[in-house]
Structure 1
Amino acid sequence: MTTIIKNSILTAEIKNFGAELISLKTNQNREYIWEGNPDFWGKHSPILFPIVGTLKNNSFHHNGMEYHLSRHGFARDMEFELLEATENSAVFSIQSSEKTLKVYPFEFELQIIYTLNENNLSIAYKVINNGKSQMPFSIGAHPAFALPNQFENYSIAFEKEEPLEYYLLENDLISNKTKKLEVHDKKIPLTYELFENDALIFKTLQSNSLTILENENPILKVNFENFPSLGIWTKMNAPFLCIEPWFGYSDTNENSGNLLEKEGIQILEANEIFNSKFSIEIL
């Protein structure tokens, strides 16, 4: 089942399964979201919760118990309830259950709110701690943007001048090794060689937005103010680019396994609510 929201400029389609954005089109019918061809990658824009990336040994411990969570968590593989829909907005929700408590022992509600406003799609996250103790979690976005022309015709532009140092992954975990991107006028030409070692992981950034340019023309901007971390990723020879604002990232090899001590983790107090949002702006 899918839900469609639209305005005079854009139409967005969201699957209830995973509350996943699967299409974002202009009224000229240009598609900006990756089609999800499984020959490359069968997703479009999954929600990463309650972890981002991979845990060391795919496990963590809490209150003397060990739990197992697969990469990026379980929200992307759950059926969301559609709480509310208007012509240009939709609210989706999942809640903790007997099944989730076996792998993540915290009572929660996660709401995903999609809102269209002119040429902008806002995607808001609302995490509610329904338990009586602190709740550690990460949450992040993983939208894949369709790049229909030659990959080398595209570049990305960061909002601010900054030293673009990223961390390398080793066996899906964050290593201590870093590299710096060559930046010219805040822009980086896209090549598949950039992603030979998987995603580019930025633990911190000064920029609050990233723009995709096609033949030097800006076509799309991802705005992610207040998100501390960012991933950029594609697969070899795939015609898409993922721009991924995150609260958290994969474990390091030094991680203790205690989720409350995990690098980049968010801690939500009992009965508290966490809110954040990012947006996709068509230029």
Structure 2
Amino acid sequence: MNTTITNSRLKASIKHAGAELFSLKDNQNKEYIWEGNPDFWGKHSPVLFPIVGTLKNNTYKIGEKEYELPRHGFARDMEFELIEKTENSAVFSLQSNEETLKKYPFEFELQLIYTIEETTLDIQYKVINKSDTKMPFSIGAHPAIALPEKFENYAFEFEKEETLKYYLLENDLISDKTKVLETTNNLVPLDYKLFKNDALIFKTLESNSLTILEDSKPYIKVDFEDFPSLGIWTKVKAPFICIEPWLGYSDTANNSGNLFEKEGILILDAHQEFNSKFSIQIL
């Protein structure tokens, strides 16, 4: 099943499977979200929960008990329930169940709240800890922006001038190796060579937004003020770019395995809720 929300400027369509945004069109019917061709990557904009990235050996511990979780967690592969709908907004909910408790021993509710205002789509995450104990988690976004022109016709512009230090992945884990993304007049021209070692992972940024330019003109802006970390990723020759606001990231090679000690993890107190939001603005 799918749900569509609209206003006079935008139309967004969301699958109930994974509560995944799969289409964002302007009033000229131009599509801004990657189509999901599996020859490159069969997703569009999955939610990453209750982890972001990869665990060391795909396992973690709570106390002495070991659990397995796949890359980016399980929420993206589960069916959400539509619990509220207006013309320009929709709320989707995923509740913990027997299946999730085997992989992640916490009772929770995850809500994704989509709202269109003018030319902006807001995507809010609400995490509710229904357990009687503290709950460790990460959450992140993975929207793939469609790039209809040649890849080299696009560039990034970060909100602030800063040293763009990113971490390299080794065997899908965060290594100690870093590089600096070179800028020219605060711009980063897109080049597939940037992604030869997989994603660019920024643990911290001063910028709270990033603008994609198409032929030197503003195309899309992604705001991620609530998210300290950012991933940027594509596949060679793929006509999309993923701008990924994250709260958390892959394990480091020396991670202890204890989820409460994981670098970048969030800890939510019993019966409390956590909210964060990012937005995609059509320019």
| TM-score normalised over the length of structure 1 | 1.00
Q: Hey, what's the Cα distance between the residues in 2 that align with 1:49 and 1:181?
A: 28
User: Paired residue for 2:68?
Assistant: 68
Could you say what secondary structure the match of 1:101 adopts? helix
User: Paired residue for 2:86?
Assistant: 86
The within-5 A match list for 1:1-283 is 1-283=1-283
Q: CA RMSD in A?
A: 0.4
- Structure 2 counterpart of 1:61, which letter? K
Q: Hey, what's the Cα distance between the residues in 2 that align with 1:51 and 1:186?
A: 32
Question: What's the offset of the Cα at 1:226?
Answer: 2.2
- Structure 2 counterpart of 1:92, which letter? F
Question: What's the offset of the Cα at 1:184?
Answer: 1.3
8 A Cα contact 2:4 2:12, kept in partner: yes
Q: Hey, what's the Cα distance between the residues in 2 that align with 1:131 and 1:257?
A: 21
- The unaligned stretches of length 5 or more in structure 2 are none
8 A Cα contact 2:63 2:258, kept in partner: no
Could you say what secondary structure the match of 2:103 adopts? coil
Could you say what secondary structure the match of 1:67 adopts? strand
Question: What's the offset of the Cα at 1:185?
Answer: 1.7
Q: Hey, what's the Cα distance between the residues in 2 that align with 1:123 and 1:96?
A: 21
Instruction: Give per-residue Cα distances to partners, 1:84-124, cap 9 Å, x unaligned.
Output: 11100000000110100000001100000000000000000
Identity of aligned residues (%): 72
- Structure 1 counterpart of 2:77, which letter? D
Could you say what secondary structure the match of 1:47 adopts? coil
Q: Hey, what's the Cα distance between the residues in 2 that align with 1:226 and 1:5?
A: 24
The total of aligned residue pairs comes to: 283
Q: Hey, what's the Cα distance between the residues in 2 that align with 1:136 and 1:163?
A: 30
Could you say what secondary structure the match of 1:102 adopts? helix
- Structure 2 counterpart of 1:274, which letter? F
Report runs of 4+ in structure 1 exceeding 4 Å deviation. Answer: none
